[in-house]
Amino acid sequence: MHAAPFVAWTAVPRDAFRVVAGNGAITEYTSSPGTVRAFCRHCGSSLFYRADQTLDRIYVPVAILDAIDRPIDSHVSYEERAPWLTSVHTLPCFIGKSDQPLQWT
């Protein structure tokens, strides 16, 4: 779906969720029983998904948002992580592609 080791998602109450897009820009498909995913028919970006098991919310990848109103606060489905994805928070960080260190915040 994302070809990434992890994706940051946020859950939005279904009754508060609104999409403003051009006519016909969003395409939806059933990716598995009870789960509908939406993407932009023009660029292919994943936009959101909804599932029958959580009827009260819509899940949106944080990367498509201009801003988010809360910090990321938990891991979900952590048991499904790639086995090589460990201790990411302990790795050194660098500014851009330089050797200049950057501290985790």
- Whether residue 50 is contained in a domain is answered as yes
Q: The CATH number of the domain where 26 resides is what?
A: 2.170.150.70
- Whether residue 102 is contained in a domain is answered as no
- Whether residue 28 is contained in a domain is answered as yes
Partners of 13 in the β-ladder? 57
- Whether residue 76 is contained in a domain is answered as no
pLDDT at residue 13, as a whole number: 95
pLDDT per residue as tens, the chain (105 positions): 677 888 888 999 999 988 876 778 899 999 999 999 999 998 888 899 999 999 999 999 998 888 888 888 887 888 888 888 887 778 888 889 899 988 766
Q: What's the pTM?
A: 0.74
- Whether residue 41 is contained in a domain is answered as yes
